[in-house]
Amino acid sequence: MPNKQKSALIGALCAFAMIVTLGLSFILSSNLFQDGKSTLVLPSDTEQQGMIDEQTEDFAQQNESKIAQITVDPSNVQAVIASLSRPSSYSCSVTNTLYWDGGAGTLQCRQYARDGAYRVETLNGDGVITQVQLQYDGKIYAWDAGSSTYYSGQAGSFSPGEAAMLPTYETVCELPADQIQEAELTELSGQPMIRVTAVQDGRTAEYIVSAVTGLLYSASFSQEGTRTQFIQTSVLSLERPADNLFTLPGQNHTIFVDA
């Protein structure tokens, strides 16, 4: 095999391995194999940094009018969440803490969304980007930070939420209705929130969706009364992310041009 073809093949295999690693990270973070021993305790309001400023006022007003005359309960919560207005562009951080017997570990990502495209950055413990993934128009692109080459392929069922290792508001909307045990409109960090508790095979999940932005605010998972995972999102901006965040290594135009 010519050296050029051999190098290309090796590069493609390495990139594919990175995608598999991202997928395995999501599976591990989704609590399928966790057996934690920590007591389930939600962070206090002082630990939850909400975001209400001029950028969110329009969404807050739209959503307030939609839920003002509604009593949220298990029978209607999925329809209520689905009806909320949401930003088409945003940047957010994701902190995903996994718990096990005697310890805990944290995975961190940043996610950017615009024009139906998503960028997910995986960060190390120092906040430095280690891997990047883009998704747009049914395609996925991934590379190690600093690399001049990338993997590309069909995204299939691998969603941006899975890449960021977090559920989304869509996760709540797609739950089997008989799993939803509790649902209510509440307040957290000065924001109206929709809290949903679901139970399946002894595993309890509590999702909190912001009634301001319509996006997932946090998710907590427990098994037999012990916490195994806590996910916290923080909206950093509702501004349109810059073009260079959606540009592939070695190219000077965005992925929208290639769609």
SS3 7: helix
Residue 142 sits in a domain of what CATH number? 2.50.20.10
pLDDT value at residue 28: 34
Whether residue 3 lies inside any domain: the answer is no
The continuous run of DSSP H or E covering 187 comes out as strand 180-188
Q: For residues 82 and 66, what is the distance between their CA atoms, to the nearest angstrom? A: 11
Whether residue 59 lies inside any domain: the answer is no
Domains: count for the chain = 1
Whether residue 166 lies inside any domain: the answer is yes
pLDDT per residue as tens digits for the range 103-128: 999 889 999 999 889 999 999 988 99
Nearest 5°: CA angle at 43, between 39 and 47? 150
Whether residue 127 lies inside any domain: the answer is yes
pLDDT per residue as tens digits for the range 175-227: 999 999 999 999 998 889 999 999 988 899 999 999 999 999 999 999 988 99
Whether residue 197 lies inside any domain: the answer is yes
**Mean pLDDT of all residues in 129-143:** 91
Whether residue 20 is predicted with pLDDT greater than 70 in this model: the reply is no
pLDDT per residue as tens digits for the range 79-104: 999 999 998 899 999 999 999 988 99
Q: For residues 154 and 244, what is the distance between their CA atoms, to the nearest angstrom? A: 22
Q: For residues 131 and 144, what is the distance between their CA atoms, to the nearest angstrom? A: 4
Whether residue 88 lies inside any domain: the answer is yes
The continuous run of DSSP H or E covering 152 comes out as strand 151-154
Domain around 122:
71-242
Pairing of strands 216-223, 203-210: antiparallel
Whether residue 22 is predicted with pLDDT greater than 80 in this model: the reply is no
214 dihedral zone (left: phi>0; alpha: psi -120 to 50; beta): left
